[in-house]
Structure 1
């Protein structure tokens, strides 16, 4: 435990620490995270079960634990790279030497004595969805930036005792060992009107929630797809249809807000040929959107309203008379005659 003083001050200042205890579960050795305050099992997804570094260290003996651990939380502030079984008698396998030397970040020997933990400032690329893969010779490489914890020993390896940010090395390590076939998330290009409405995402969401379709939008953002009969793909399209209207068909902003929703899951970044499911869904929503939200102070800039009834926004009687209605909210994109991302058709209610 004496070597814990070597843990970078930046990490020690974070209140995201747990204790851990070796136990055998189903015939397999495991390291259980322990809440330093209660002695019960901690959760990497629940900050209420985390503690300060000092409290975690002090609780190790009290709860008969074997050490402390650092949690990678939902904010994705840090990324951990775990290299299992890469040390033989303290010597690093040559295949893994480059990542330690080029990373220039905090690196320590794991509790087993034959592995390394590297901790970087920053997150994995958004498209990097896998976390673990076995390697030749029984080695294993894991990479996490959220919802996991690393045991921490303070046993600094070869003097690498400071945290740094090195996204290029993180990406190269991911591509080399976890998903060699990975390609970066396709660029999402905006179509049509820009979303430069002067509001940040939080303000725009509040405006959306206050609109006539606010309840439906709020439900979708919470991951509720009951209005779509439990069909999550239809819910994805419904939310993207709303976003196409409110974000001014800005694909990048639509993607950013969708990722904050309860509908976000691994499928969003899954590959579809040269693109992804999420990019395809956004493209379909934009294709079905013929009008966009414009704040009241931009009414004078409004072009004549298109007559296409398949607009993603609600065309009210007031609007048909030429009176703008900023409270109007989008309907799901109608893509009559055009297949959805799953190869099905979307009806006027956004159902597949």
Structure 2
């Protein structure tokens, strides 16, 4: 729905706030500019001013008041998606929407592909590390490959042993559901794909080749996995793995205690799509979905109770009308008898009279 409609609904008190979740199924790219605004003086850094003016699209002040969120239509360029205080997102991310728009900024989300590519090239892209990885894995940058081995951990377990550890971890039930191909709790299969890849990133130590091999054994595998979705020839699966590795801050260490490794897994899972100012998308989405379902159940129960009360009222009214009809019949019978004192005894028989038959009919209706 429109931002105006969403904000109006939130202001009514029926919602905690407004947010937007970026997925592979929408054309929206979010530009997150942190620590570039003084909330007291409202001064804005020159770098942020340059980006905001060039994007020239819907811009609002972030929840902290110290930054901005810019929403545009476009396709996020390949390579790294963050540098310093600039972050770019187009999937698996939750943006809190404040509606506190920047003065003189457009009220609509505009398509700004050229400006996005220029800003990415000038402010985000690292020319020395955005080329293809020497490993030959398309779509994974050298920077991301170095992130994979940041902890210098070599997970030398066999696939079955590794999968068994993942299933037996504290979040093993979730891993098993995703592994079987269940997308329950996710708005789209793309989000479920990302969730499984993030778990695989942790357990494999960020080994993209192994992640791809394991994912192909899961129930989530579909033809889309090998479809080319990006200008550099990267497939949907390669890009999903790339983003999962980039989003993973800690990896499984087979030499560490199991409980500490599982704790890292849980921390990684909760931080997959979050930042220091924003909740993780998966958590926020599930909390919001649970709240909406709860509200829906409450509404249905209230409606059911109202309908039951209505049924009881109609039954009471029906019984009262039947009682009135019986009284009316008896009164008419008495008048009939009084006005015809010499009526034939046979014709006066209640079972043969009109009112007698009516009374029997009413009785049958009871």
Of Structure 1 and Structure 2, which has the larger fraction of its residues in helix? 2
Larger Rg belongs to:
2
Of Structure 1 and Structure 2, which has the larger fraction of its residues in strand? 1
- Considering the TM-score relative to the shorter chain, is it more than 0.5? no
Given the two structures, how large is their TM-score scaled by the length of structure 2?
A: 0.36
